Amino acid sequence: MAHSSPSAAPPAARDLRTDILETARALLDESGAAALSMREVARRAGVTHQAPYHHFGDRATILAELVAQGFEALAEALRTAHAAARDDLRAAVLASGRAYIDFALQHPGVFRIMFRPETCDPARFPAVQAAGQAAQAALTALVEQVHGPRCTPALCMVYWAHVHGMASLLLDGSLGQECPAGPMREALLDQVGQTFADLVMAQQPV
């Protein structure tokens, strides 16, 4: 008696919401926020023009979701850098700075809109506010770890300005052209990071 072969497993249902977000993220990386529209996201995702509206009310909601995810990922990268450095304060400064810059370079489209309230208004999206505060708290935790009771909001701003400035210069400034990805960029990031760490550690009480 012949045995019937087992039927093939049905294909997994498409996670359209995730696909839309991934398509929007790729579009941001490629062409920036100005090129992102619900119609273009739908076209690139291969779905009907109305499909994105079933998951996101409008373009701003898609951007807000990407920004919230960006801040969450940045906060996790900073926390991981802190944990890996353990009690070595200099190593914590170096690892955290590099984690911030690497995040920006690996996620340029999202990074460029994370700090642009005119593109994504945090007041409209509580999840964006919460995620942004988590990332800020992770950076503050580093400064507190290094400086203890001498930590101040101004000192936290110095740390942020350092890493955000380097990331922005590499992404959108002439520095990115002068030092393309490769050994030259790695050497520059190492030298700048070491110099900043020297300045930071020189402020430690004897």
Displacement of CA 106 from its chain's centroid (Å): 8
Check whether residue 133 and residue 47 sit in a common domain: no
Counting other chains too, the contacts that 138-145 makes at CB distance below 8 Å and 24 or more residues apart are 138/74, 138/75, 138/78, 138/79, 138/82, 139/78, 139/96, 139/100, 141/78, 141/79, 141/82, 142/78, 142/82, 142/92, 142/93, 142/96, 145/82, 145/89, 145/92
User: Which domain does 52 fall in, by range?
Assistant: 15-57
Give the tokens for residue 30: 């490629």
Say what the pLDDT of residue 6 is.
54
On whether residue 47 sits in a domain, the answer given is yes
Q: Model confidence over 133-160: pLDDT tens digits?
A: 999 999 999 999 999 999 999 999 999 9
CA–CA gap between residue 196 and residue 93 (Å, rounded) = 9
In what helix (H) or strand (E) does residue 9 lie, and over which residues does it extend?
none
7-16, 26-35, 59-68, 179-188: the lowest-pLDDT one: 7-16
Based on the domain organization, do 69 and 149 belong to the same domain? yes
Is pLDDT of 71 > 70?
yes
pLDDT band for position 8 (50/70/90)?
Answer: low
Q: Is residue 9 part of a domain?
A: no
- Tally of helices (H runs) and strands (E runs) in the chain: 10, 0
pLDDT tens sequence across 73-82? 999 999 999 8
**Residue 10: inside a domain:** no
Instruction: Check residue 15 and give its pLDDT.
Output: 83
- Looking at residue 22, its pLDDT comes to 95
Query: pLDDT digit string (tens) for 18-67?
Result: 999 999 999 999 999 999 999 999 999 999 989 999 999 999 999 999 99
Tell me how far apart the alpha carbons of residues 103 and 110 are, in angstroms, rounded to a whole number: 10
Domain harbouring 48, CATH code: 1.10.10
Distance, in Å, from the CA atom of 105 to the CA atom of 93, rounded to the nearest integer, reads 19
Q: Please check whether residues 94 and 129 belong to one and the same domain.
A: yes
